[in-house]
């Protein structure tokens, strides 16, 4: 039977348990001295380096198996709708689907277990576990590329990574750590700064990966990803400063952690609005679905006719894609001077919709980079929603909340993968850019939701004008 948590019948009052827990926490927990941002930066660098790398490897590996050689690492492709090219696009898209679905179903259970667990034991154990999972995945990727193993081992690596919480749990723990140490008035900006780490690492990895593949092939960039994740794991274990004040030893495998997520929507609390929690999560789900889905197919879109990009241009495209995270920091800081958070998010969504429309009709490199430029103003929406959600729950519930957000992200990725990786090959013959146009239309829904929630929000501390 689980021990009662604070606030439940039979629990010790905070004043009674604080001295003992603080002493115990200090006696057995290495507090560290470093912020969480380097962990997110290094892990994101590794993943962004591997993302286009894995897609391009699948493209050329599967292309060789079906006898298609229309592309090479040097670039160039057949300027016709070659049936074999379409077959390679479809196979690559389907293997991406298998990988993402397998990771989602495993990660759905691990994330909801590990996130609430970190509210008690601290953020460090989850950061270390998630880093180890990413490390196992890149090791299997290296073995596939080096030994020409079956591409199904890439799926196995994804499953092993998900067992340890996956990148979603690592990112969620990072945001929970920021929520632990920030105030309600600074939280949106702090989360935008954390997301900027994603942008800087993505830009560097995108540019480096594209040129490196062109020069030396696939294997060496994977080795860099491995080295980066080793450093990430060591930093999380030895340097990161624990943000939970009094970590406690609690069992990992218990239903209490799953109930903590459920209690977010059922347990009464001062000022908590279940409606706002649910609707902001829905808005986040729709945004992440479109981002995940379109980003999942964009490398295929760029590799094939009529764009026919090589690995260097794909690297520049990936860097431009991640510029959005960096721009979001300046955008939040500037717009918060005159706009509430929700209206900052609305401006971001407007740029997002416009960028998707440009992508849907892009047939030249110039037009693609115009779309990337427009989208560079589009990612403020995610830190705004995360900050609003974190203000709706207590500090002791941040891990449960961000594990819930990680699950929403996983569901969004699953839905996006299922829809976009099936829709893209199905629409190649009549409108290749149709998935981007669909994404622009769907983003109108969170724009409407956020506007309505801003108008009906009864608690001014959730708005920009904090005093």
Residue 310 has pLDDT above 50, yes or no: yes
Q: Which domains does the chain have, with CATH numbers?
A: 35-72+83-243+273-462 (1.20.1250.20)
Least confident of 64-68, 180-184, 272-276: 272-276
**Rounded-to-integer distance, Cα 190 and Cα 199, Å:** 14
Task: Quick: pLDDT tens for 140-157.
Answer: 999 998 888 888 899 999
Residue 233 has pLDDT above 90, yes or no: yes
Task: Quick: pLDDT tens for 316-375.
Answer: 887 787 777 778 788 788 877 788 888 888 999 999 999 999 999 999 999 999 999 999
Task: Quick: pLDDT tens for 161-188.
Answer: 999 988 888 988 999 999 888 887 788 8
The SS3 assignment for 34 reads strand
Indicate the length of the chain as a whole number: 467
Find where tokens 């850019």 sit: 433
Find where tokens 């990413």 sit: 134
Residue 465 has pLDDT above 70, yes or no: no
Banded pLDDT at 417 (limits 50, 70, 90):
confident
Banded pLDDT at 286 (limits 50, 70, 90):
very high
Q: Which residues on neighbouring strands pair with residue 240, listed in sequence order?
A: 34
- Give the closest residue to 410 by CA, choosing from 115, 41, 54, 45: 115
Mean pLDDT of the chain, nearest integer:
81
The mean pLDDT of 101-126, rounded to a whole number, is 85
Structural element, H or E, at residue 396? none
Find where tokens 């149709």 sit: 434
The SS3 assignment for 371 reads helix
Residue 416 has pLDDT above 80, yes or no: yes
**Rounded-to-integer distance, Cα 194 and Cα 38, Å:** 9
284 compared with 114, residue with greater pLDDT: 284
**Rounded-to-integer distance, Cα 116 and Cα 21, Å:** 18
The mean pLDDT of 91-117, rounded to a whole number, is 83
pTM above 0.85? no
């Amino acid at each position: 039977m689980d021990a009662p948590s604070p606030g439940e019948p039979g629990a010790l009052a905070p004043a009674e348990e604080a001295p003992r827990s603080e002493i115990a926490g200090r006696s057995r927990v290495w507090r560290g001295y470093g912020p969480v941002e380097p962990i997110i930066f290094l892990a994101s660098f590794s993943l962004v380096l591997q993302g286009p790398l894995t897609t391009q490897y699948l493209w050329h590996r599967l292309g060789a198996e079906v006898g298609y050689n229309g592309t090479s690492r040097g670039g160039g492709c057949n300027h016709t709708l070659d049936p074999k090219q379409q077959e390679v696009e479809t196979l690559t898209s389907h293997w991406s689907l298998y990988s993402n679905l397998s990771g989602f179903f495993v990660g759905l259970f691990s994330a909801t277990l590990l996130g609430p667990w970190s509210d008690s034991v601290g953020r460090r154990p989850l950061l270390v576990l998630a880093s180890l999972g990413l490390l196992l995945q890149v090791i299997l990727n290296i073995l596939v590329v080096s030994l020409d193993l079956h591409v199904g081992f890439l799926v196995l690596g994804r499953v092993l990574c998900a067992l340890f919480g996956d990148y979603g749990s690592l990112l969620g723990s990072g945001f929970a750590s920021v929520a632990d140490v920030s105030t309600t008035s600074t939280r949106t900006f702090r989360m935008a700064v954390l997301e900027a780490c994603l942008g800087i690492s993505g830009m560097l990895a995108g540019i480096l990966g594209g040129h490196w593949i062109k020069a030396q092939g696939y294997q060496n960039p994977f080795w860099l990803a491995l080295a980066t994740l080793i450093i990430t794991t060591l930093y999380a274990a030895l340097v990161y400063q624990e943000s939970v004040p009094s970590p406690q030893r609690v069992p990992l495998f218990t239903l209490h952690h799953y109930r903590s997520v459920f209690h977010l929507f059922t347990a009464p609390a001062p000022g908590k609005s279940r409606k706002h929690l649910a609707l902001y999560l829905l808005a986040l789900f729709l945004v992440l679905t479109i981002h995940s889905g379109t980003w999942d197919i964009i490398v295929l879109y760029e590799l094939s006719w009529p764009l026919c990009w090589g690995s260097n241009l794909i690297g520049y495209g990936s860097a431009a894609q991640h510029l959005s995270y960096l721009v979001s920091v300046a955008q939040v800081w500037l717009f918060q001077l005159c706009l509430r958070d929700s209206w900052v998010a609305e401006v971001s969504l407007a740029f997002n919709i416009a960028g998707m429309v440009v992508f849907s009709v892009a047939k030249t490199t110039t037009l693609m980079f115009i779309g990337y430029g427009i989208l560079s103003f589009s990612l403020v929406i995610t830190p705004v929603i995360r900050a609003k959600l974190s203000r709706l729950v207590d500090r002791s519930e941040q891990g449960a909340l961000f594990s819930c957000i990680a699950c929403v992200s996983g569901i969004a990725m699953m839905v996006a993968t299922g829809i976009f990786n099936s829709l893209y090959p199905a629409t190649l013959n009549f409108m290749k850019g149709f998935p981007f146009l669909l994404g622009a239309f769907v983003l109108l829904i969170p724009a409407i939701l956020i506007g309505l929630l801003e108008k009906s929000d009864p608690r001014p501390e959730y708005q920009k004008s904090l005093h």
